Structure 1
Amino acid sequence: MTEVTPADDGPTPRRRRWDAAVRGSVDRTTGSLTAILQLVVAVTISYAVAHYALGHEFPIAAVTVSLSSLGLVLDARPRRVLETAIAMTIGITLSELILLSFGQGLWQFALTMFAVLAVTRALSPLPGIPIVAAVQAALVALTPIPPGGPFTRTADAVVGGLIALACTALLPRDPRRAARREALKFFSAFNALASSLATVLRLGDQRTAEVVLGRARETQHLVDQWKDSIDSAAAIARISPFLRKHRAELAELQVMQTNMDNAARNLRVVIRRLSVLPGGRARPEIAQVIAGVQSAGSMLAQSIDRPELRPIVRQSLVLIAITLDPRILVPEEPVSESALVVSIRPLVYDLLAASGMPAEEALRAFPDISH
């Protein structure tokens, strides 16, 4: 009798979750290796300068200010590093002043926390910065004055902040890679929405249109992440001698990001307008236009690494723009259909601008529908 072996149904859900968690851990670590190395170099130099050059036995503030100013976040732009370092130095200085004036104790500690939080909150709109400043102030308030005397820790904080800023310029974290990664995430979502919209128009499925609208509303955080990463890259390139040659490239990508933000908003307008139209009706002419938009968006994403593709993107978008006359595209259709076509024009304009076409030239690509 032949033995029957059970069919292999693949990994169990628990195993899949475990594999996904392991992959996530590996990706996080490898993606942060540059930042980790930058932090190690910064804290080592900060310790060496404060300990050996200044003669401070326990330069804790130098190390902690370097660590907290740089952090592991993607947004390590010089201004943010400098603001964090200044806030922490203010916290340490205020704590040392109160310690020197009133000594240690419960009410002195409470006064320190109030003063540091109030002052740094007044100086910074970011809610996290007063907290890191208060943490440093608490360390000063709760530990004895070091052998070097008052304000030794303030000097250490200045050292740590300056080293962190220097490492931002001289040992940058390749912010262009992070900006590219966030851009591709956005384009993936944008092009998927355009593809889904083309399918809805082709089939006339009203229920799916509402689902696509819900997905479209969730794309704003991708736009914001891309903006933060590209702004950070541009800010670092302004002070880093190693990234200065890429400033023109980053400026072009900032223009692309700004216009793609507008394009995402206008894509949501098109989807919203479609979702309120009568369902069960195919619109193949408009579906073809949106399919062209999706194709241009895919090529625009590729142009991040291959700028030579942008003229081709502009050419394909101009061919779409010249068709966006509702009198020609959807003749003898209701006003609502014409309004849908008109709502696509700003979307195509934004894509033309994102590809680098000047505003006046992009406007001339569209047929005049004013009369």
Structure 2
Amino acid sequence: MIWAGRRLAPALRVGPRARLRRWQRAGWQILQCAVGAGLAWFVALHLLGHPDPFFAPVAAVVALGISYGARFRRTIEIVVGVAVGVGVADAFVALVGTGVWQIVVVVATAMSIAVLLDAGNVLVTQAGVQAVIVTTLLPVPEAGLGRWLDAVVGGAVALAVAAVAPGSPLRRPRELVASTLVEVADLLHAATTAVRGGDPDGAARTLERARQTEVRLVELRDAASAGLDVVRVSPFRRRHRDRIRSVSRQAVPLDRAVRNVRVLVRRLATAARMAEPLPRELLVLVDELADAAGTLAEQIAAEGDVSIAVARLRRVGAASAEVPRSTLSGDVVLGQVRSTIVDLLNVAGLPDEEALAAVPAARSHP
């Protein structure tokens, strides 16, 4: 109970506005689930003539869920899971009837078969649930085909409803890439401001913000997966496939860039805390990198030409070779700046060779 309370406490502290925003984000998915459930029930009851097709709307809701990701996979897993669970349970009930030990054996057998099929969690769970239902509530062998058809109906309706998905899952990955780049720019500017002002507390707060960027990266990966899922399922969105794949590929170098920026900010926080002097040229370089990241964010958000951002990143890369070596913190920051330049050029679409060439070898200074 104590553990559960600790896990629940952060959720209870969320304000009403945040809860409303979450509901607004999930509103379209909830509507899809509701409409899908009603349509699945109607098709199974009135078109197929099943007297009590309770599992058709259940299958539709589970397949659609409140996320766009992996809908096709969930649908297939539900249909196959129902087939495995119903098939095993029907055969077993016909041979030995129902009871406590029968439930244990049937559930274990159905879920084991699903696992041996290298199934996902949804399929394994559905196999076990259907085995329980057949063994306890509906131990009528001839009803097995009807329950499986209900699952097929629910899955088919789910895919049909998903085919009319709005454009938001396609825009969301690009928006997250842009907003993450804006956060990178803000973090870099905040860190240099703290160092210049001798503000270790401000640097520490910036470092804490940097540590929270992992949430953005998780959201980006999920959104990219959801976008790809939409273009696979919806025939109306196929033309966006290349664009979504391009944004999905940006997630990898952006992840590297954010991790490099975290290290950079942590080192600047250390320098601020230790009052470690850093070359003026180095702090200017970090600010220029921030400005270039901001420009890249603007151009990606507008789906425009990123050539201006690329040119700015190239200039920062060339300037990084001229910054003199200094303290340990200074050398670490410089190294992270140079690595981040390469990563952001990858985000802009440059291949590794061209991105690396934009950061020439550092010159030796007397």
Instruction: Tell whether 2:64 aligns with 1:70.
Output: yes
3-state SS of the aligned residue for 1:221? helix
Cα separation, partners in 2 of 1:190 and 1:33, compared to 1, 3 Å: same
Instruction: Tell whether 2:218 aligns with 1:224.
Output: yes
How many angstroms does 1:39 deviate by?
Answer: 1.9
How many angstroms does 1:354 deviate by?
Answer: 0.4
Cα separation, partners in 2 of 1:95 and 1:187, compared to 1, 3 Å: farther
Q: 1:110 aligns with which of 104, 112, 115?
A: 104
More helix by share: 2
- Matched with 1:341 is 334
Give me the whole-angstrom Cα distance separating, in 1, the residues matched to 2:95 and 2:51.
Answer: 24
- Matched with 2:312 is 316
Give me the whole-angstrom Cα distance separating, in 1, the residues matched to 2:16 and 2:262.
Answer: 36
Instruction: Tell whether 2:114 aligns with 1:120.
Output: yes
Deviations 1:284-325 (A, max 9, x none): 322222222222323333333312251111111111111111
CA contact (8 A) 1:65 1:88 kept: no
CA contact (8 A) 1:66 1:160 kept: yes
More deviation in 255-264 or 112-121?
112-121
How many angstroms does 1:145 deviate by?
Answer: 4.6
Q: How does 1:1-371 map to 2 (within 5 A)?
A: 21-123=15-117, 127=121, 130-145=124-139, 149-168=143-162, 170-174=163-167, 175-180=169-174, 182-183=176-177, 186-206=180-200, 208-275=202-269, 277=271, 279-283=274-278, 284-325=280-321, 328-330=322-324, 333-334=326-327, 337-369=330-362
CA contact (8 A) 1:89 1:158 kept: no
Cα separation, partners in 2 of 1:42 and 1:238, compared to 1, 3 Å: same
Cα separation, partners in 2 of 1:33 and 1:337, compared to 1, 3 Å: closer
More deviation in 302-311 or 221-230?
302-311
Give me the whole-angstrom Cα distance separating, in 2, the residues matched to 1:180 and 1:67.
Answer: 28
CA contact (8 A) 1:96 1:151 kept: no
More deviation in 267-276 or 49-58?
267-276
Cα separation, partners in 2 of 1:279 and 1:151, compared to 1, 3 Å: same
How many angstroms does 1:35 deviate by?
Answer: 1.3
Give the unaligned 5+ runs of structure 2. 1-10
Deviations 1:103-155 (A, max 9, x none): 22222222232223333344457556533543343333322356963332122
How many correspondences in the alignment? Answer: 351
Deviations 1:66-85 (A, max 9, x none): 11111112424423443344
Cα separation, partners in 2 of 1:335 and 1:128, compared to 1, 3 Å: same
CA contact (8 A) 2:210 2:262 kept: yes
Give the unaligned 5+ runs of structure 1. 1-16
Cα separation, partners in 2 of 1:232 and 1:322, compared to 1, 3 Å: same
State the percentage of identical aligned residues: 26
3-state SS of the aligned residue for 2:275? coil
CA contact (8 A) 2:78 2:122 kept: no
Give me the whole-angstrom Cα distance separating, in 2, the residues matched to 1:95 and 1:21.
Answer: 47
Give me the whole-angstrom Cα distance separating, in 1, the residues matched to 2:119 and 2:110.
Answer: 15
Cα separation, partners in 2 of 1:208 and 1:305, compared to 1, 3 Å: closer
How many angstroms does 1:19 deviate by?
Answer: 12
How many angstroms does 1:243 deviate by?
Answer: 0.9
3-state SS of the aligned residue for 1:56? coil
Q: TM-score, normalised by structure 2?
A: 0.82
Cα separation, partners in 2 of 1:60 and 1:137, compared to 1, 3 Å: farther
More deviation in 255-264 or 270-279?
270-279
Cα separation, partners in 2 of 1:363 and 1:180, compared to 1, 3 Å: closer
Cα separation, partners in 2 of 1:301 and 1:55, compared to 1, 3 Å: same
3-state SS of the aligned residue for 2:144? coil
CA contact (8 A) 2:85 2:130 kept: yes
Amino acid at match of 2:170: R
Give me the whole-angstrom Cα distance separating, in 2, the residues matched to 1:273 and 1:137.
Answer: 57
Give me the whole-angstrom Cα distance separating, in 1, the residues matched to 2:170 and 2:232.
Answer: 13
- Matched with 1:4 is none
Amino acid at match of 1:68: V
Amino acid at match of 1:73: S
Q: TM-score, normalised by structure 1?
A: 0.81
